Amino acid sequence: MFSSLRKLFLSEPDPREARRPLWGAVVTTARAPHWYAEGTVPDTLDGRFDMISLILAIVLHRIDEDPRQGLAGVQLTELFVNDMDGQMRQIGFGDMVVGKQVGRMMSALGGRLGAYRAADGSDELRAALIRNLWRGNAPADAGLAHVMAEVATLRAALAAMPVSDLIVTDRLPGAAT
């Protein structure tokens, strides 16, 4: 009886909130000015989405390396979905459109997760970055080199960090912000 009353009057904290600091770190890293200035990633809604997807994919790939932390990856992805939903509503998308757009964003994220996972060599990564960040239009060599170097730095820093530390961090290591 008391259990039922407690559930009625007390709300349980959302377990996804444990990943909120990491989600903030992903967004902060993706919004760092160097991606858009030195990296020449378009500073547009699409460009920002693509950068968040890139950083999120790198983080999710690292989390996937520790099967015990699978739930953390799911929670982080759910925060991504909720944030994208909220951002679209703030921009003024209506209820009927938001669901379809979130579905497209999830599909795009899934494609990027696969592309970046398969991109284990510099040629594959280069092609995936050009396709996703610059929508197939090759950027200046210096911009692409900057993004590739920063991605390599971030991947190396995350590889050196225990996943148990990563899933609770509020700042990604090795990432220029």
Residue 85, pLDDT score: 74
The distance from CA 47 to its chain's CA centroid, rounded to whole angstroms, is 13
Residue 9, pLDDT score: 62
Residue 4, pLDDT score: 54
Q: Give the C-alpha separation, 61 to 70, whole Å.
A: 11
Range 138-141, long-range pairs (CB < 8 A, 24+ positions): 139/39, 139/40, 139/41, 140/40
Residue 8, pLDDT score: 56
Residue 106, pLDDT score: 76
The distance from CA 109 to its chain's CA centroid, rounded to whole angstroms, is 8
Residue 7, pLDDT score: 55
* Number of residues written out for the chain: 177
Tell me the three-class secondary structure of 87-156, residue by residue.
HHHHHCCCHHHHHHHHHHHHHHHHHHHHHHHHCCCHHHHHHHHHHHHCCCCCCCHHHHHHHHHHHHHHHH
Residue 172, pLDDT score: 97
From the first residue on, what is the mean pLDDT of each consecutive set of 10 residues in the chain (177 residues)? 54 88 98 98 94 96 96 95 77 70 79 80 89 95 96 95 97 81
Residue 44, pLDDT score: 93
**What residue segments make up the domains of the chain, in order of their start?**
25-166
